[in-house]
Amino acid sequence: MNKNSSSSKRNRAAMQKDRRNQMRDLYSQLNSLVPQDTSFQRAIPDQIDDAANYIRQLQGNVDNLRQTRDGLLGGGASQGGESGSGSGRNLSVQIEVNENGSALVVNLITAVEYQFVFTEVVRILNEENAEVVDASYSAAENTVFHTVHAQMGEAASIERITEKLKRFEL
């Protein structure tokens, strides 16, 4: 009985030591993921507080980016339409489509934060069987001017292309 209790105590002590080592390793892994000043070693509770604060900061960044994305993709169109009734309308996206036989020229003017529309223009042209031959852009302050030259395929429809592209106009 005395022999069993001493071996049981050793097993328990070994298990506790393993658990402490495992927790130390986990703290170290967590600490390595958090930006920090490496000039001094902080206590483990302080490291955990830093990690929790960093996670909260990252979550706030994610929330802000989501709001910005939603504003650009969904809410931006309705906001632009509501504010654009006067002569001083400041459009975030302007699209002009010109057809010359089987050639198509798309002029796109966007604010810098709406440059994703260019990618959508190219996608729509490809989707509608219009091959992009040339694309160029220039930027001035907060405005980007894109010009896309495309060759219309047999199944391409200028009306469908224009309709789809005008959806992005804000």
How many other CB atoms sit within 10 Å of the CB of residue 50?
17
Strand partners, 148: 106, 135
Which of 167 and 89 is assigned the larger pLDDT?
167
Domain coordinates of the chain in residue numbers? 2-82, 93-166
Q: How far apart are CA 68 and CA 135, in angstroms?
A: 27
How many other CB atoms sit within 10 Å of the CB of residue 166?
12
The pLDDT, as a whole number, for residue 149 is 93
Q: Mean pLDDT throughout 118-147?
A: 90
Highest mean pLDDT among 3-12, 19-28, 38-47, 156-165: 19-28
Domain 93-166 has CATH 3.40.50.2300: no
Q: Which of 127, 126, 165, 167 is nearest to 146 (CA)?
A: 165
Q: Rounded to two decimals, what is the model's pTM?
A: 0.45
**2-82 has which CATH code?**
4.10.280
What tens digit of pLDDT does each residue of 93-126 get?
A: 888 888 888 888 999 998 888 878 888 899 999 8
